[in-house]
Amino acid sequence: MSAPVERAVAGGEPVGGQSTPSSNEEVSATMTKGYAPEVRERLERDAKEIIGRYPRPRSALLPLLHLVQSEDGYVSDDGHEFCAEMLGLSKAEVVGVSTFYTMYKRRPMGQYHVGVCINTLCAVMGGDQIWDELSEHVGVGHDEATPDGKISLERLECNAACDFAPVMMVNWEFFDNQTPDSAKQLVDDLRDGKEPSPTRGPKKLCTFKEASRVLSGLPDGLAGDGPSAAGPSLEGLKIAKANGWKAPEA
Amino acid sequence: MTTLTPVLTANWDQPNSFTLEGYGDYSAARKALGMDPDAVIQVVKDSGLRGRGGAGFPTGMKWGFIPQGDGKPHYLVVNADESEPGTCKDIPTMMANPHALVEGIIITAYAIRANHAFIYVRGEVLHVIRRLQAAVAEAYAKGYLGTDLFGTGFNLELVVHSGAGAYICGEETALLDSLEGHRGQPRLKPPFPAVAGLYASPTVVNNVESVASVPSIIANGAEWFAGMGTEKSKGFGIFSLSGHVTRPGQYEAPLGITLRELLEMSGGIREGHRLKFWTPGGSSTPIFTDEHLDVPLDFESVGAKGSMLGTRALQIFDETTCVVRAVLRWTEFYAHESCGKCTPCREGTYWLKQVLKRLEKGQGTEEDLTTITDIADNILGRSFCALGDGATSPIHSSVKYFRDEYLKHFEIGGCPFDHAPSTLWGAK
C-alpha cells in the first residue's frame, strides 16, 4: 500500500475534486476563513428547512453535517463552525459528534468515493483481493484521495447487500458482484469521465458532494431511476412463482 | 415441505413497486384509523408478530408498554440502520417496497398515539434513501401523512433521517442518542424507550420489517398471520441467503423453515462444494455447522441449539473457508464498531483482535485459545449493550466447533487454507 496522499486546502476554497491543490503545501485544513456570503446564505436557507422538521433543533446535527460535507467534500472547520452556529452548540460539541461517525470525512475525499466491503462474507468472496488490487492500482489507501481529487478509497464494513457479494459502493450507490478486474475498470472509467451506472440506482452517478446533499434530507429527484429490485433480491419470488407458492388467502 | 410465502416481497418484480401507484391505496391504514387504537394493538398482539430486528420481542406488547394519557408527546422511530454483518433484508425492502413501511408507520403511530415518526436509515445506501424520501413525499401529497389523516383528525409527521456510518446506532438507545444529535452511544436500561425514549418521552423503536408487516396483519387479520410459522414464532419473515450458495437472495418464508429446505429450493451449496459453517442470524449469532441443517429457523429452536434466530441472515461458508480468518474479520469489525463507552467491550474487542491476528498467522499457542475464550467470557454479560455480547458469539462457537482448525494454524505456522478458491471467481 502506498503512503497516504495528504491533500492541502487553500484558504476557504472548496476542494474535493474541483481544484488541484499542490500536495506539498503544508496548509492545514483548519486554516479556513468562513463561507463566502452567497454560499453562507444558501447553506442557511437549507439548514433552516432541515432544522424545521425536528421537534428539537439538535436532532438536525447529523443532517447538517451531511449538508456541509455536500459543500466542501468533507466536514471542514467552516462546516463545524456553521453547524455549531445554526444549532447554538459549541464547536467542540459538534466536533465531538462528527468524529464519531465514519461517513463524516476529516479531509477532502475524491469526487468519486469508492468503497470495497471487507467484512467477512464479502472478504471471503473476493473483497480482500479486490481491495488489495484496487488500492495498488489507484495508489491510495483507506480514506485517502488521489492527488487530482478524483478518487478516494475506503475499506467498508458490511453494507447490507451480502447476497450481491463482493460488493462495492461509489458515492454510496451499489456496484454489485465485483471482481478485481471489474473494480479496476470501474475506477478507470470514473477517471476517464465515462460515467458507469450503479447496479441498483440511478443511471447517472452523482458526485460525493451531491450524494451528501441527498443524505442531508434534500432530495435530488432521482428516486424513480433504476429497477425496483434486481438479481438476488428477486430469487425467492421467482422460485415461489415458478412453483405456484403464495402466502395463504385471508 | 415448507414453501415460500411472499408478502412483503410479492411486488418486487413490478417496475413501479416503489411508487404509490404500484403499491396500493393504503386501505389497511384507512381500516386501522377507523378502529380504536387499543384494538389495533390487540390485533398485533393476537397475530404473535415478534420483532424482526433480531431480538424477537413481541411487537404488540412493546406498543402496549407506551403509557397513555400521560400528557407527553409519543414518538415512533423505525430502526432502518441495518448493519449487522450478513443482514440484507431491510435495504431491498425499502428500495422496492417503501410504501409498506410508510403505511405500517401510520398504523403503528396511530396505535401508540404518536404524532411524530422517524425513519433512522443508515447513510451508506443512497438510492434507498431516495426511495424513502419519495415515498414519504407521495404519501404527504395524497394526505396520508400530515394533518387529519383520512378525515379522522389524526395528525402524523414523518421524517427520513440518514445516519452517518456507525453500526452501534442499530442499538435502539444509541440510535435515539444519535437522533438527538449526539454520538451514538447506548444508554443504560431501564428506563426503557417505552418510558423514556426520544427526548425522554415514550417511544417505540421497531425494525423496518416488523413495521412493514403490520399493514398485511391489519388487512388480513391476526389469524391469517398466526396461521403461518410455528406455535411461538408466528408469521413470515425474509431469510437472506448469502455466500457459497448457488442462488443467494431473499426468500420470504414462514418462520420455522430449515436451512436444508431453503437450500433445496434454491439449488444448494455452490457446485462441487459442501457446507462448512453458517450464521443463522448475522455475525452476532453463534455459528452453526452442517449438523444444524434441520434446525427449524424459529426463535425457540435456534435458541435451543445454542444460537439465535437474529435477523435470519444466513451467511453460508463452504469447506474452502478458513474459520479463523472469518472470526478474525468479524472480530475486527466489532473492535472497529465498539463505541468505547464501556470497558469490557472497548478493551475486550481490542485484545481479541490482537490475539486472533496472531492465531491466524500461525504464531499463537494453544494457551491463546484459553485467552480468547477468557476475554470473551469477560465481555459477555458485562457490556453496556448487545454489541459486546455479539462480539463473543463467533469466538465461543468457532472454538467449540473448530478447535482443531485453530490448532492446525500453530502446527504448520500459518493458515492452512488457500483463500483463492473461496472467491466468487475461485476454482471449483
Q: How many Å from the N-terminal Cα to the C-terminal Cα in chain B?
A: 30
What is the reported pLDDT for B426?
Answer: 87
Query: What ipTM did this prediction achieve?
Result: 0.96
Listed residue (B105, B111, B40, B38) closest to B78, CA to CA: B105
H helices then E strands: how many in chain A? Answer: 9, 5
Q: Which residues is A38 bridged to in the sheet?
A: none
For residue B242, report the phi and psi dihedrals to the nearest 5 degrees. -145, 165
The correct answer on CATH 3.10.20.600 for the domain covering B236-318 is yes
Query: Are the Cβ atoms of A163 and B157 closer than 8 angstroms?
Result: no
Mutation pick from A50, A59, A120, A243 vs chain B, by most beta carbons of B within 10 Å, is A120
Contacts for B422 with CB less than 8 Å, ≥ 6 apart: A124, A125, A126, B244, B317, B318, B320, B321
Q: CATH 3.40.30.10 spans which residues of chain A?
A: 112-207
- For the A37-98 domain, the top CATH level (class) is mainly alpha
What is the reported pLDDT for B214?
Answer: 98
Over residues B191-213, mean pLDDT:
98
Distances from the Cα of B49 to the Cα of A148, B102, B113, B311, angstroms: 53, 18, 20, 14
The region, left, alpha or beta by phi > 0 then psi within -120 to 50, assigned to residue A221 is left
What strand order describes the sheet that includes A112-117?
Answer: A144-145, A151-156, A112-117, A168-170, A173-175
Q: Which three cell numbers stand for residue B266?
A: 434454491
Mean pLDDT is lowest, of A21-35, A55-69, B343-357, for A21-35
What fold is seen in the domain A112-207? Glutaredoxin (3.40.30)
State how far the Cα of B168 lies from the Cα of B183, in Å rounded to an integer: 10
Distances from the Cα of A197 to the Cα of A92, A186, B384, angstroms: 40, 10, 43
| pLDDT tens digits, one per residue of A96-117 | 999 999 999 999 999 999 999 9
Say whether pLDDT at A8 is over 90: no
Q: How many CB contacts within 8 angstroms connect chain A with chain B?
A: 290
User: Per-residue confidence at A9, pLDDT binned at 50, 70, 90?
Assistant: very low
Share of chain B above pLDDT 90, in %: 99
User: Per-residue confidence at B428, pLDDT binned at 50, 70, 90?
Assistant: low
User: Per-residue confidence at A250, pLDDT binned at 50, 70, 90?
Assistant: confident
User: Per-residue confidence at A13, pLDDT binned at 50, 70, 90?
Assistant: very low
What is the reported pLDDT for A16?
Answer: 36
H helices then E strands: how many in chain B? Answer: 16, 10
Say whether pLDDT at B115 is over 70: yes
Question: Which parts of A28-139 fold into alpha helices (H)?
Answer: 37-51, 61-72, 77-87, 91-98, 120-122, 128-138
Looking at the complex, report in whole angstroms how far the Cα of residue A136 sits from the nearest Cα belonging to chain B: 18
- The domains of chain B are located at 20-226, 236-318, 323-420
What is the reported pLDDT for B1?
Answer: 86
Listed residue (A128, A117, A115, A223) closest to A163, CA to CA: A117
Say whether pLDDT at B104 is over 90: yes
What is the reported pLDDT for B68?
Answer: 94
Question: C-alpha B395: how far from its chain's center?
Answer: 20
Share of chain A above pLDDT 70, in %: 87
Which residues of B, range 249-288, sit inside 8 Å of A by Cβ? 249-253, 265-266, 283
Over residues A68-74, mean pLDDT:
97
A174 and B126 in contact (C-beta within 8 Å)?
no
Contacts for A246 with CB less than 8 Å, ≥ 6 apart: A240, B5, B6
State how far the Cα of B166 lies from the Cα of B163, in Å rounded to an integer: 8
**CATH code linked to domain B323-420:** 1.20.1440.230
**Of the CATH numbers 3.40.50.920, 3.40.50.11540, 3.30.230.10, 3.50.50.60, which one belongs to the domain with range B20-226?**
3.40.50.11540
Q: CATH 1.10.10 spans which residues of chain A?
A: 37-98
The residue of chain A nearest to residue B132, with distances taken between CA atoms, is A223
Helix (H) or strand (E) holding A240: helix A235-243
Q: Which residues is B204 bridged to in the sheet?
A: B76
Measure CB to CB from residue A125 to each of B134, B178, B243 and give the nearest one: B243
Over residues B247-260, mean pLDDT:
98
For residue B253, report the phi and psi dihedrals to the nearest 5 degrees. -145, 160
Say whether pLDDT at B79 is over 80: yes
Query: Are the Cβ atoms of A214 and B130 closer than 8 angstroms?
Result: yes
Measure CB to CB from residue A157 to each of B3, B167, B252 and give the nearest one: B167
Rounded mean pLDDT of chain B? 97
